[in-house]
């Protein structure tokens, strides 16, 4: 058993959105084998109510408040420093003091950092093994935002992409191993940081198939037989862009053929732009719900119309685990490294996307296809195997981060 420091940019509980799902499953798995000290930020006031729950998995916990408005102002110091705004956004003296004290008082064997923005807190501690889970190549995500944005945000996003890419390469050189959510992400990073290629690893997300079980009994939200669903945090730019594109470019084409079609957007903190979509006929925006499974269990299909995407989409895995067919863009499908299977349709234009949705809505429910969706997840995306790979990286000797440790699913 080792003693580990685990740093997350957002409290990894409850596991109700993409990054928190991965972060929580790392915490739960590591706590079975090791003593874990967790340092994290809380950017949603509601999440403070979960602070005590973390004692189940952690020897000690340090949570710091992060007010998004103040953090955005603080991030402007990155311009003066010539660094990525993302690093300045998460800079906090209280968190640094806690890390320094912990490193002095405890015999920490290894450090796991979740998100590159937390890496500066352990920059000076190169005597212990340090693993950085980038999850996605965030710099490229900002570059994608720049493509779709207007001035002056286009300039800001482009600057962030360039500065963050430089920071990512610097961190990858300093840490013993860098982890990404898919082989595609890992390969992309190897191309922009070739000198770190032997220490770059792909460990995909998993899905809790026991929780996302189509055999459960779920109340029917009564959205009709032609019910289309999207799930995700609705204050996240890529999700906002996805549902707006689907509504504006695809949904009317679907309704022209299937007038009874309904589209439900399920997720926390919908932006004003997302809430406005509910004014259109056939569209519902739920906001936060206690459980997304009823919406998945009683839908005909899920959509993942992502135009801005990196890595593996949890929303796709969860829908498939619930035996639900998915229509998705190539960007959303890129993280699926074992093919897309019979339950997925990949479409890259509004017309093709609409045709795929219409075909799913107008065909008879196919038990074989729904069974294949569930089987695909069970075969390829179990969390236990993923966490074992991460544990091997953490417990390897400080000097061994070579290609022999590489994992690619």
CA gap 397, 323 in Å, rounded:
41
Provide the pairing of β-strand 177-180 with 129-135: parallel
pLDDT, greater one: 370 or 164? 164
Cross-sheet strand order for the sheet of 227-231: 283-287, 262-266, 227-231, 301-304, 326-328, 344-346
Residue pLDDT, tens place only, 79-116: 888 899 999 999 999 999 999 999 999 999 999 999 99
Asked whether residue 402 carries a pLDDT value surpassing 50, the answer given is no
- Taking the C-alpha atoms of residue 114 and residue 214, their distance in angstroms, rounded to an integer, is 31
Contact 53, 61 (CB under 8 A): no
- Rounded CA-CA distance 300/261 in Å is 10
What is the rounded distance in angstroms from the CA atom of residue 267 to the CA atom of residue 260? 23
pLDDT confidence of residue 339 = 64
Q: Given this model, what pLDDT does residue 55 score?
A: 94
Domain ranges across the chain: 3-206+382-405, 227-380
- Output the CA torsion sign for 95, 99, 105, 110: positive
Residue 184 has which token pair? 């595609």
Cα 146 from Cα 369, distance rounded (Å): 38
Which residues does 293 contact at the CB level (< 8 Å), separation at least 6? 211, 212, 216, 218, 322
Distance, CA of 87 to chain centre: 19
Same-fold call for 3-206+382-405 versus 227-380? yes
What is the number of residues in the chain? 409
Token readout for 373 is 């969706």
For domain 227-380, give the fold.
Rossmann fold (3.40.50)
Q: Give the tokens for residue 352.
A: 């093709």
Average pLDDT for 254-258:
97
Torsion of CA 170, 172, 176, 182, to 10 degrees: 170
Handedness of CA 27, 135, 192, 75 (dihedral sign): negative
Tell me the mean pLDDT in the region 271-299. Answer: 95
In this structure, which topology does domain 3-206+382-405 adopt according to CATH? Rossmann fold (3.40.50)
Report, as an integer, the average pLDDT of 33-41: 97
Averaged over 49-56, what is the pLDDT? Answer: 95
Closest CA to 23 of 37, 13, 34, 35: 13
pTM as predicted: 0.78
Give 319-343 pLDDT, tens digit per residue. 999 999 999 999 999 878 666 667 8
Average of pLDDT values for 11-31? 92
Position 340 scores a pLDDT of 66
Report the first-to-last Cα separation within the chain, whole angstroms. Answer: 27
Closest Cα partner for 5 from 86, 98, 138?
98
Residue 208's pLDDT is: 87
Query: What is the model's pLDDT at position 200?
Result: 97
Q: Residue 47: which of 19, 26, 75, 73 has the closest Cα?
A: 19
Higher pLDDT pick, 295 / 364 = 295
Q: Are 160 and 142 in contact (CB under 8 A)?
A: yes
């Amino acid at each position: 058993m080792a003693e580990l420091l685990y740093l997350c940019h957002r409290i990894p509980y409850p596991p109700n959105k993409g990054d928190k799902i991965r972060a929580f499953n790392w915490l739960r798995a590591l706590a079975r084998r090791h003593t874990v000290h967790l340092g994290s930020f809380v950017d949603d006031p509601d999440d403070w109510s979960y602070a005590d729950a973390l004692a189940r998995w952690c020897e000690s916990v340090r949570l710091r408040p992060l007010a998004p408005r103040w953090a955005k102002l603080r991030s402007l110091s990155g311009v003066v420093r010539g660094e990525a705004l993302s690093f300045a956004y998460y800079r906090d003296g209280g968190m640094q003091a806690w890390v320094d004290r912990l490193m002095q008082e405890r015999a920490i064997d290894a450090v796991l950092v979740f998100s590159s923005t937390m890496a500066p807190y352990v920059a000076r501690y190169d005597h212990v093994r340090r693993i950085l889970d980038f999850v996605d190549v965030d710099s490229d995500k900002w570059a994608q935002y720049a493509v779709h944005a207007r001035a002056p945000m286009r300039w800001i996003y482009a600057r962030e992409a360039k500065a963050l890419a430089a920071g990512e390469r610097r961190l990858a050189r300093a840490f013993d191993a860098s982890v990404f959510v898919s082989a595609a992400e890992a390969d992309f990073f190897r191309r922009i940081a070739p000198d770190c290629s032997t220490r770059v690893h792909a460990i995909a997300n998993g899905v809790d198939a026991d929780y996302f079980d189509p055999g459960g009994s779920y109340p029917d939200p009564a959205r009709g037989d032609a019910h289309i669903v999207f799930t995700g945090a609705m204050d996240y730019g890529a999700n906002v862009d996805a549902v707006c594109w689907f509504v504006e470019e695809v949904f009317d084409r679907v309704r022209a053929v299937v007038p009874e079609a309904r589209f439900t957007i399920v997720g926390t903190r919908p932006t004003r732009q997302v809430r406005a979509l509910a004014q259109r006929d056939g569209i519902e925006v739920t906001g936060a719900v206690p459980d997304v499974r009823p919406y998945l269990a009683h839908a005909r299909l899920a959509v993942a119309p992502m135009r801005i995407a990196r890595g593996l989409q949890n929303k796709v895995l969860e829908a498939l685990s619930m035996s639900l067919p998915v229509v998705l863009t190539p960007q959303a499908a890129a993280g699926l490294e074992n093919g897309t299977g019979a339950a997925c349709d990949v479409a890259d234009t509004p017309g093709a996307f609409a045709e795929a949705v219409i075909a799913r809505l107008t065909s008879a429910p196919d038990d074989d296809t729904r069974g294949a969706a569930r089987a695909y997840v069970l075969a390829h995306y179990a969390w236990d195997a993923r966490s074992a790979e991460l544990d091997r990286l953490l417990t390897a000797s400080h000097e061994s981060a070579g290609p022999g440790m590489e994992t690619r699913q």
